[in-house]
Every structure is written in C-alpha cells, then in structure tokens.
Amino acid sequence: MNIIYMHSHDTGRYIEPYGHAVPTPNVMAFAREGVLFRHAYCAGPTCSPSRSALLTGMVPHSNGMIGLAHRGFSLNNYDQHVVRQLKGLGYETVLCGVQHEAADASSIGYRHILAKSAGSDKDDLHNAALAAEYIQASGKKQPFFLSFGMFNTHRDFPELDGTINPDYVIPPFPLADTAENRKDTAAYMMSARTMDACVGIVLEAVRSSGLEDDTLIIYTTDHGPAFPRMKCNLYDTGIGVSLIMKHPSFSNGRAVDGLVSHIDLLPTIYDMIGVEAPGHTQGVSLLPLLQNKTDSVRSEVFAEVTYHAAYEPMRCVRTDRYKYIRRFGDRFRPTLANIDDGGSKSFMLQHGLQDEAYCEEMLFDLALDPVERVNLAKDEKYSHVYETMSLRLKEWMEETGDPLLNGPVPFPPGARINLPESLSPRESTFL
C-alpha cells in the first residue's frame, strides 16, 4: 500500500468541506470521495510540535519537539519518525516541499528529497508538479510514502489581485466583520485557492497513474489559521484541523463525528499495512471509524503549547461535551509574538488586544457554548465537571511525563526565543 500524506500550513478547518465559502473545489471533491473527520484535533497548535506529533504518534512533550525546529528545537529520537520506521518496512520514502520536524530535512531520513523548501505560491505549484512526476513514474514495484508539504496557507498571504472581492467575504469566527478583517480573509482565501490547486495536481497524478486501488491518501493541516485566537491557542479554532482520508477499503463519501487526534494517524497506517505499531506511539487506530464499524474510538483528546516564537505554556483536555484549558506560569496576558503579524492582528491591537486579561483555568460546556466564551471554571453548578476535567489533565501530564509538572520548561541551548513582551515574532531580541 502506497501512502500519500498531503499537508497544508495554518489552514485549520477554514475550507469548503467544513462549510466555509473558501474556493477549494479539489479538496471538496476529495472529501466527497473519502472519509472526512468533523472533530479531528492536532496535539499542539504550533507548527513543529503538531507535525512532529503526527509523524511520531507521540504528543510534543513526549517526542521532544516542544518548540519550532527552525528556532532550535528537535525530536528526542529521529528513529521514532515514521519515515525511518517505514523505510525499515521496505518503503521508499520521499519528501516534496515543506517539512517542519527538523532544521535540516536531510537529517530526518528520507530516501529522496524532491524539494527541500517552499515559501511562495509558485514554490507550492512547482513542488506539486514534482510530486506528480514522482507518482506517475513510481510504478508498482516498491510501496512508497510521499510527504507533500505546502507552504500555503501560511502568512504572508498574497496581495489581493481582484479575483476575490473582500466586500463579499465574511471573516472566520471570532474575527469581527470589518473592512480590515475582510481584506485579510480574502488574502487567506487566495492562498487557500493555490493550496487547493496543488492538491488537485497530486490527486490527478494518482488517478492517471492507476495507483488509486493501492494508495492511502491523507489530507490534513497542522493547526488553525494564522489569525488571532486561532493558531497557537487551545480553543477549537486553534486545535481543530481538517482531516480527510481515502482508500478503496473504506466506505467513502461520508463524515465521521467521533473525536480524533493527529497522534492516531500512525497507528492507523500501521494497522492498514498489517504490522504492530511501535511501542512509543500513544494514539489509537482509526480503522474502525474509517470502516464504519464504530462511532467512536476515544473519549478525549489532549493538546498543548510550550514554545512558539515565545514561551506560553498551556495544556487542555477536550471531550465531546467539555473543554478544560490551563495556563501555567505567571503571565496571563496575550503573548503577541505568538500571533503572526497581519491585518487582523493590527486591527485587534488598535482596539486593545494587548490589554486583555487571560484566566489561569477555563472550562467550557461545548454543547451550550461551542464558541468557548463562557468560562465555567468557578461556576458551582459545574464543580464536579471542573474537578473531573482538571484531574484528568493532571493524570495525563503525569502518565506522559510532562516536564511542565516540574516548573518552567527550559529551552535548548542556542534556541531563539522571543521575549514575553515582544510585539511580533519578527523582533530580533531573544532570551
């Protein structure tokens, strides 16, 4: 079985298959042919931690990637990366485009690297063509694992060119409906359109090569979009991700409501190829969900932030009904360096974003408050829920050896960490 892992950057669920008017027809068509997960979540809503969790099957603080690879963080053991695992099982392993699990892609262990980086629309389209060429030339002699990584929909977004009119765009929740936010959203949509074109190129290559009958295709993203209160936050707008999978053995063209974590993907892959998952993996196989044999494989998901551009430690546990978030340390104001610069951030700064106060603990009833705005942590009616959820988070941290239990988590020597009071990740003053 071949495996194609397509991943976009900072997309969340803000695409057409999840009900948004974002021009992504190829991903929409793929969703109609595959299995779409309505409630898939990343293990950490920052770039390297999220991707490393998916590709090791371990949460970030367990695999070691608690910050950004290009800023000095790394996995504890690269032998736990799926690429090295699959290579040992006879797979040809190929990277085309973006990866964020190592500062140097060659250290991961791919057999072939078709393109090491991507940073523009043209790079993604070029890399999509390279991926398509590889697929069409691969034949059926050796199974392959192809990671096709796109820079889109990461900032900076492209300049508006008149093809998407901001006047007829609605910004994603929780952004205010203002001219500034509509313009920023329209630029995101342009980036998403390019991402979608790349997905279409790769999918067409699979069809035309005759490999559809023996290929698992996965599309996902690392975390929520690069807007305030999304990326680098533990709200659902930050940890919610798109996840669509397709294989002939599935009952395709359907949506699944069960809770899913990115760390479940590797156990699923191993289950499908008929080998036992490595002992370090912490997820569960999604195959029963994919084959429509059950409605649920897990009762809870966990997510975390430790470092992004700056230190901002927080953890959460989410069930179908409730979400509990805890911030650690003594800073309960926005860490602005962890919010990517852009029009929506500028608008919110003009209206007092930097002066907001955060709570140390937050509890949300997602059935009555799916937008996570009514904090019930101190509501006596929810005292039992609070005790249950806070205890479960603590137990999980203990079970997985979370270093945050021992106090502030140090960063590696030489890592570039913005000051807590930095206004932007682009500032060059570091701890």
Give the domain 301-406 fold: Arylsulfatase, C-terminal domain (3.30.1120)
Q: Residue 81: pLDDT band by 50, 70, 90 thresholds?
A: very high
Task: For residue range 176-200, list pLDDT tens digits in order.
Answer: 999 999 999 999 999 999 999 999 9
Task: For residue range 391-403, list pLDDT tens digits in order.
Answer: 999 999 999 999 9
117: pLDDT strictly greater than 70: no
Give the domain 2-290 fold: Alkaline Phosphatase, subunit A (3.40.720)
The dihedral over CA atoms of 177, 8, 424, 53, expressed in degrees to the nearest 10, equals 120
Residue spans of the domains in the chain: they are: 2-290, 301-406
Instruction: Write out the DSSP string of 105-137.
Output: GGGT--SEEEES---SHHHHHHHHHHHHHHHHH
Sorted by sequence, the CB contacts under 8 Å of residue 66 that are 6+ apart come out as 49, 60, 73, 306, 307, 409
The per-residue pLDDT of the chain, averaged, comes to: 97
Closest of 139, 138, 144, 140 to residue 89, by C-alpha: 144
- The answer to whether 242 touches 13, Cβ cutoff 8 Å, is yes
Task: For residue range 311-346, list pLDDT tens digits in order.
Answer: 999 999 999 999 999 999 999 999 999 999 999 999
Q: Residue 118: pLDDT band by 50, 70, 90 thresholds?
A: low
Looking at this protein, which amino acid is placed at residue 178?
Answer: T
Distances (CA, A) of 54 to 31, 199, 222, 277, 382: 20, 20, 9, 14, 33
Sign of CA dihedral 338, 305, 417, 156: negative
Q: Residue 119: pLDDT band by 50, 70, 90 thresholds?
A: low
